[in-house]
Amino acid sequence: MFSQNKINSYAKLLGLTSDELDEFMRRYKTYLISKDKITKNILINGLFILDDIHAMKWADEANKTKYKTKNVIIIKYLDEIIDLYQGGMGSSRITKSLKLNHRVVVSKSAIDRFIVSNKLKRS
């Protein structure tokens, strides 16, 4: 059995909290027990479970926020988009900044719709 320090370090390595890693281990253990024969796909199924946990994490964070959007990239970089907009940048410069710094592509119109629908104000 792993010590709590080792579990925390593996969780940090995977980008999870220790609770999320515990949930993964519990779900994966149940999956392994249900299989009679070990196949090559077991590792891949474990990665799908991890992806599901990450998706639930993003959904929870999206529900906590007061801003409305369905765009996953905007949800992920929400704080940065708001900071850039309030710092004086327009939607096209925000799009370029996200592409340059994070290698993600968000259209100018998606940023515009997000700003208008949430009635963001510049500070």
Answer whether residue 70 shows pLDDT above 70: yes
What's the average model confidence in pLDDT over 65-73? 81
pLDDT, residue 101, reads 92
Is the separation of the CB atoms in 57 and 20 below 8 Å?
A: yes
Domain spans, the chain: 4-64, 72-117
Closest CA to 107 of 121, 122, 118, 91: 91
Instruction: Output the furthest CA–CA distance in the chain (Å, rounded).
Output: 61
76-116 pLDDT, tens per residue?
A: 888 899 999 999 999 999 999 999 999 999 999 999 999 99
Record the pTM: 0.49
Q: What is the 3-state secondary structure (H, E, C) of the chain?
A: CCCHHHHHHHHHHHCCCHHHHHHHHHHHHHHHHHCCCCCCCHHHHHHHHHHHHHHHHHHHHHHHCCCCCCCHHHHHCHHHHHHHHHCCCCHHHHHHHHHHHHCCCCCHHHHHHHHHHCCCCCC
How confident is residue 50, by pLDDT bands cut at 50, 70 and 90?
confident
